[in-house]
Amino acid sequence: MGVMIFAEPRYAMAELEEGDISAQLSDLAELRRLCTRIIEDRNPSVIVLIGTCTTEIIKMDMEGIAPKLEAELGVPIVVARANGLDYAFTQGEDTVLAAMAARCEVADHVPTVPAALPGAKSHAPLVIFGSLPDTVAKQLELELKKQGITVSGWMPSSKYQDLPEVGPNVHVVGVNPFLSRTASVLVRRKKCKLINAPFPIGPDGTRAWVEAICQSLDIEPQGLEERERAAWQAAKEYTEILKDKTIFFMGDNLLEVSLARALTRAGMTVLEVGIPYMDKRFQASELQLLIETCKEMGKPLPRIVEKPDNYNQVKRISELKPDLAITGMAHANPLEARGISTKWSVEFTFQHIHGFTNVKDRTCSSW
């Protein structure tokens, strides 16, 4: 989660010192002291207690402590367990959002939303989940507004108190492929209707994402072909560079399938897609779009390797010699020493890779 501060500094982090490891201090007193200082220094709208391996080992009862502190200090306190068993660092965001989703108010019937355009019909409420910088979130809202769609709320919202109402008639859609746990909470516990769509990464993904939302809300999409075509045209000088170049994803952040699909559309040949963990239900539409894109572009379908063995991957990279390898920071320097150009996968978590806007800059930075 720490890398998200590069995207937008919406939150600050604080941690308990090593004294609590001995389990001789009072967990309640220590957390009260820390939370009190946070409130004095930051005046937050919410405090999230993130459990790590250490809190699991010493059996810290955060779920029992949080309600007491919330009542005492008057600030919402959410518990999210990130105990080191996640496959990818981006799942830290999923853990926190799932905890927040569990706290969303449920209404038996959330009223329909007025259309964003004059003359258009009202539609069911739409909630988007996933962390994006405000500028990117606004761009996606404007794209939906062009279709007459009003966004009822985002999760997370800028302030915790503005978390949207959810319920059986609320349609929800994610913006990143690593949010499957949040999707499960919204569907199973809050009874929302999940829109299973490709993710708005790259012009092709953005078009498919908006089309899926329109279909779910019974709205006829307008002008998306032109929007996608214009976005690719704006980046033509860079896609010409990418054309027929090869790329290899080692697997680090769960964005790999979406990035592979977008770069295939840009003209690249994807040799392999390594991914730490694959939730085929949540990424079903994205996987299908990857298959369709490879067929349309006349490119071979890349091998998708879940939880890859890095030693064998490095051997395959040495044999295939891709023009670019997307890799975690630990493998970048060794690969560079072997003559393989690399890009850190973590950078994609704070670059603006969503939507139609600024695709020219994103395509350049991706290369």
Q: Are 214 and 193 in contact (CB under 8 A)?
A: no
- Which overall architecture, per CATH, does domain 126-226 show? 3-Layer(aba) Sandwich (3.40)
Radius of gyration of the chain (CA): 22
pLDDT value at 305 more than 70: yes
- Summarize the confidence of residues 5-31 as an average pLDDT: 67
Look at residue 89 in the predicted model and tell me its pLDDT: 81
In the structure, what pLDDT confidence band is assigned to residue 61 with cuts at 50, 70 and 90?
confident
Look at residue 208 in the predicted model and tell me its pLDDT: 98
pTM equals 0.91
Got the DSSP string for 37-76?
A: HHHHHH--S-EEEEE-HHHHHTT--HHHHHHHHHHHH-S-
The percent of residues above 90 in pLDDT, for the chain, comes to 67
In the structure, what pLDDT confidence band is assigned to residue 59 with cuts at 50, 70 and 90?
confident
Q: At the top level of CATH, which class does the domain 2-85 belong to?
A: alpha beta
Look at residue 85 in the predicted model and tell me its pLDDT: 66
pLDDT tens column, 220-254: 999 999 999 999 999 999 899 999 999 999 988 99
Look at residue 367 in the predicted model and tell me its pLDDT: 47
Tell me the CA distances in angstroms from 39 to 12, 66, 68, 79, one per residue in order. Answer: 12, 15, 16, 17
pLDDT value at 6 more than 80: no
- In 3-state terms, what secondary structure has residue 134? helix
Tell me the CA distances in angstroms from 268 to 212, 247, 366, one per residue in order. Answer: 26, 7, 12
**What is the Cα 186 distance to its own chain's centre?**
15
Name, in order, each residue with C-beta under 8 angstroms of 361's C-beta and a sequence gap of 6 or more. 352
Q: How far apart are CA 64 and CA 57, in angstroms?
A: 16
Look at residue 159 in the predicted model and tell me its pLDDT: 86
Q: Are 69 and 35 in contact (CB under 8 A)?
A: yes
- In 3-state terms, what secondary structure has residue 338? coil
Q: Rounded mean pLDDT of the chain?
A: 89
- Write down the domain spans for the chain: 2-85, 126-226, 232-366
- Summarize the confidence of residues 97-125 as an average pLDDT: 87
Q: Are 173 and 126 in contact (CB under 8 A)?
A: yes
Do 126-226 and 2-85 fall under one CATH topology?
A: yes
pLDDT value at 358 more than 80: no
Identify the CATH assignment for 232-366 out of 3.40.50.620, 1.10.1270.20, 3.40.50.1980, 3.30.360.10.
3.40.50.1980
pLDDT value at 158 more than 90: no
Look at residue 364 in the predicted model and tell me its pLDDT: 47
Nearest to 269 by CA among 293, 246, 248, 295: 246
Residues in the chain: 367
The percent of residues above 70 in pLDDT, for the chain, comes to 92
